[in-house]
Amino acid sequence: MTHHAAAPCPAPGERRCWPLHVSQPETMSTTIISPPSQTTAMRPRAVPTERPRTIVHVDLDAFYASVEQVERPDLRGKPLLVGGRHRGVVAAASYEARAYGVHSAMPMYQALTLCPHATVCHPRQSVYASYARRVMDILYQTSAHMERISIDEAFLDLTYHVQEWDGGIEIARKLQARIWDDVGLSASLGVATNKLLAKVASDRQKPAGLTVVRPGEGASFLAPLPVNVLWGVGPVTAQRLDRLGVRTVADLQEVPEPTLRDMFGERGKWIWQMARGIDERAVVTEHTPRSMGQERTFEHDIVDAGILEARLTEMCERVAGRLRASRMAARTVALKLRYPDFTTVSRQIRLSIPTNDERTILSAARGLLVHTWEPARSVRLLGVTVRDLCEPSPQISFLDTLNE
């Protein structure tokens, strides 16, 4: 009698094992996927990936110039340029200077031709850094799930801070008020379901804007905008699209995915998704884990290949679920086996493409098991760990499509 047959009903939250055979991978996956319906309720609790995320992008307005205006009240309401006076470029221009057509990265002499009476301030990086830190502290106090992307820009993932999606709008409004009240700086915010939409949104109503893109509104929000609002669509890409007559995101939404893939390779898929407001990338914090794993010491040592395989399947499903819930993918899959004499064997494999797909993780782990386990030797502990975590790349979705 195997341990499987002797085992009582699975504990709540645990999935019953189905006999599988290491030598027949094709049949294995079929058997795993369709357990009898009575066990459905015992499957590992689904991670709530369905719920739309609440992502906020915060961007300070004319940051360097605004700091100078806070520091020097006599310059408020006046055109001000930050940058080197001679042979320099404009690092930041106050909104009063922008009214004259000045923008950042413009040569200073040109800016001063457009706006001769502007005050020019030499950049003071340490002063800006200390203001930025005060703003980031405010954001961090709101949520540690924060990713800073430049000196004056950051994302917050408020998904687990709010009961209802709209709750994020109120938090954003309070943040904006607090940055103004406590630091004296104006910020523009975007509230949306992902990083792409939140970032595009924060830029729509500068300065001091708050732009909301509700769940399901991403594609229509982007439609009237020029293609270069999309992440990574620079002048070269925009020019190539322009030759197709594609100028707005609405135009881009008409282009079939294979056409984009022909033009831009793997990036084409990503561009196709962005045009629809799809962006699965995670808000990556300092606290983002470096690995995720499942490990289990069995109550009874396991000697049956089928049971071992079933345990492995459960673990891979959970690990993949956690990866997807965190919007992460892994490049390395590791397997750990411990025998009753406490001999422990670990093996890992590096994947060519990062993944969060349970079938891919399982097939890697299964390969490791075949190479690691000495059949007929009982196993005391089994573990699956994924490492080298990163954001899912567009290739993953591409592969997912192929697999389906």
Question: Where along the sequence are the contacts to Mg ion (CB under 5 A)?
Answer: 59-60, 63, 152
Task: Rank residues 93 and 274 by Cβ distance to Mg ion and give the closer one.
Answer: 93
Task: Rank residues 60 and 198 by Cβ distance to Mg ion and give the closer one.
Answer: 60
Whole-number minimum distance, CB 186 to Mg ion, in Å? 10
Whole-number minimum distance, CB 195 to Mg ion, in Å? 16
Q: What's the CA gap between 100 and 90, in Å, rounded?
A: 14
Residue owning tokens 């794993």: 293
- List the 119-121 sheet strands across, edge first: 90-93, 80-83, 119-121
The one-letter amino acid at 260: L
Is residue 275 within 8 A of residue 256, CB to CB? The reply is no
Whole-number minimum distance, CB 337 to Mg ion, in Å? 52
Respond yes or no: is residue 257 known to be catalytic: no
Whole-number minimum distance, CB 148 to Mg ion, in Å? 12
The one-letter amino acid at 89: V
The one-letter amino acid at 70: V
The one-letter amino acid at 124: R
Task: Rank residues 63 and 398 by Cβ distance to Mg ion and give the closer one.
Answer: 63
Q: What is the DSSP letter of 107?
A: B
Whole-number minimum distance, CB 206 to Mg ion, in Å? 8
The one-letter amino acid at 390: C
**Of 14, 153, 257, 391, catalytic:** 153
Whole-number minimum distance, CB 75 to Mg ion, in Å? 18
Task: Rank residues 63 and 270 by Cβ distance to Mg ion and give the closer one.
Answer: 63
Q: Is residue 217 classed exposed, middle or buried when 0-12, 13-18 and 19+ CB atoms within 10 A define those classes?
A: middle
Task: Rank residues 55 and 368 by Cβ distance to Mg ion and give the closer one.
Answer: 55
Task: Rank residues 96 and 152 by Cβ distance to Mg ion and give the closer one.
Answer: 152
Among 43, 35, 52, 36, residue whose Cα is nearest residue 11: 43
Which distant-in-sequence residues (6+ apart) come within 8 Å of 266 by Cβ?
394, 395, 398
Q: Is residue 370 classed exposed, middle or buried when 0-12, 13-18 and 19+ CB atoms within 10 A define those classes?
A: middle
State CA 273 to chain mean position distance. Answer: 14
Is residue 47 within 8 A of residue 321, CB to CB? The reply is yes
Report the relative pairing of strands 210-212 and 187-192 from DSSP bridges.
Answer: parallel
**Residues with catalytic roles:** 153
